[in-house]
Amino acid sequence: MPVTKFSTPEKYEYLSGFGSYHSTESIPGSLPIGANSPQRAPHGLYAEKLSGTAFTAPRSENLQSWLYRILPSAAHSSFKPYVTSERGTCGLAPDSPDVKLHQIPNQLRWDPFDISEDADWIHGLKLVGGAGSPVMKTGIGIFIFAAGKDMAPNTAMYSSDGDFLVVLQHGVLDIQTELGRLLVRPNEIVVLPRGIRYRVTLPEGPVRGYILELYQGHFTLPELGPIGSNCLANPRDFQAPCASFDEDTSSEWTIVNKFNGVLFAAQQHHTPFDVVAWHGLYYPFKYDLGRFSVIGSISFDHPDPSIYTVLTAPSEHPGTAVADFVIFPPRWLVQEDTFRPPWYHRNTMSEFMGLIRGDYDAKAGGGFRPAGASLHNVMSAHGPDAETFEKASNADLKPMKVGEGSMAFMFESCLMIGVTDWGLAKCKKVQENYSEHSWSSLKPHFKRPV
Ligand SMILES: O=C(O)Cc1cc(O)ccc1O
Ligand SMILES: [Fe+2]
């Protein structure tokens, strides 16, 4: 059965292409012709520049956009700490003042995280782990989000810390961004770059999922090498919003800013969603994982999971990612004389995994469930559980479809991931017996030749 691919519902308009230079205006003539900042911008709009890289970054990396809006973003009160009774002071970055990270070598697995009916997007963000620092613009943060309510009216949020890669596991996200609206459904991901303001509402009730926040650089497509010019995630399937705006220069708005994992709020007397037109390379975008064209072995052996990379965040060292976003879509396995599940391994990279739906083929023994997670940190040994090993080493190797109706994913990072107090204890989801359950019943099959 082929994977379902989403089409665009009415009310939403997108521009196609990864890394494409987009221009979009919701009122014709709103973009200045042949200039970015004329003495008077069209229709009495203000021109505002939004930088995703240093102005002087090489052209191949440079990400900037020009926004034409009713009032500039600068028109707001000063930021004050945003402490609510539900939120408390729970830090949201590896080096936030009140966050302690525990780097531990144990294999970890979490039961499905709960949906919190009472929380909105802002209150439902929980830092599970990470490495590095938004202050130094290095590393990543890994979050679980769960919300049952729309964000409060007239409230918008942005992160100064990094780019959010949101992996939706349950529900639907309607995200109004400064640059336009995005509708995100399960099996879709969305990238909300640093600084872009947005408001999340939930048209179909509660939502839940995972977020990888990237403090350094930006996500890009992996190289294809000998694969050639197509397959994996094709650039045309990435969708950015067309400009759409509200006209509201009289109501009170709260702008919540995540700044080194601490929330601050400022007030302003106008909507932040007043961008009538924009052009540039720095924008939010979404991608339907059902459109990923999977590559695999058609002879023998189990290839590295890098062939399933959707997006990568490169480090300064070519081929070594600060984070890769890797998926395990439904696919045919046809290899001959091969142990088909993942091999047993110890990896210098850390592996945080989640499950959007279905089962994961390396864990036939159960316990890795949708909305749950696992972490195999730097050099922590792991691989198929005992049940998977027995099945796969005795299987009749006919062509076989794995992962039908399923989607697992991995955030793979060159960094050692520390786990927060929330992730280790407060969430109450850590499985006590993960390692024992998975690998203690593996039997020796060695027979010394006589
Ligand atoms: O550990 C895991 O389940 C993820 C994984 C999958 C795979 O096919 C090869 C290596 C790997 O780390
Ligand atoms: Fe692994």
Confirm or reject: Cβ of 305 under 6 Å from ligand 1: yes
* Of 38-52, 76-90, 132-146, 331-345, minimum mean pLDDT range: 76-90
- Smallest CA-to-CA distance from 28 within 50, 18, 15, 43 is with 43
**Is 293-431 the same fold as 78-274+283-289?**
yes
Band of the pLDDT at 8, cuts 50, 70, 90?
A: confident
Calpha distance 44→375 (Å, rounded): 52
pLDDT of residue 370: 98
Residue identified by tokens 């922590």 is 380
pLDDT of residue 11: 85
Right CATH number for 78-274+283-289 from 1.10.3720.10, 2.60.120.10, 3.30.450.60, 3.40.50.150?
2.60.120.10
Confirm or reject: Cβ of 358 under 6 Å from ligand 1: no
Cβ partners under 8 Å of residue 140, min gap 6: 130, 131, 132, 162, 212, 213, 214, 215, 313, 322, 323, 411, 413, 415
Q: What's the Cα-to-Cα distance from 348 to each of 148, 293, 320, 412, rounded to whole Å? A: 38, 27, 10, 10
Q: What is the pLDDT of residues 234-265, one digit of tens each?
A: 999 999 999 999 999 999 999 999 999 999 99
pLDDT of residue 4: 82
- Measured in whole angstroms, the distance separating CA 132 from the mean position of its chain's CA atoms is 17
Confirm or reject: Cβ of 109 under 6 Å from ligand 1: no
Q: What is the pLDDT of residues 373-423, one digit of tens each?
A: 999 999 999 999 999 999 999 999 999 999 999 999 999 999 999 999 999
pLDDT of residue 100: 95
Give residue limits of the domains in the chain.
78-274+283-289, 293-431
Give the three-class secondary structure for 358.
Answer: coil
Q: Which atom of ligand 1 is nearest to the CA of 376?
A: 1
Compute the average pLDDT of residues 347-372.
95
* Percentage, residues of the chain above pLDDT 90: 93
Q: Which of 86, 204, 336, 345 is catalytic?
A: 345
Give the three-class secondary structure for 89.
Answer: coil
Q: CB of 363 within 8 A of CB of 340?
A: no
Compute the average pLDDT of residues 150-161.
98
Q: Is the pLDDT of residue 88 over 80?
A: no
pLDDT of residue 254: 98
Q: Is 376 a catalytic residue?
A: yes
Instruction: Look up the ipTM and state it.
Output: 0.99
Confirm or reject: Cβ of 324 under 6 Å from ligand 1: no
Q: Is 302 a catalytic residue?
A: yes
Topology classification of domain 293-431: Jelly Rolls (2.60.120)
Regarding pTM above 0.80, the answer is yes
Classify residue 137 by burial, with Cβ atoms within 10 Å: 0-12, 13-18, 19+: middle
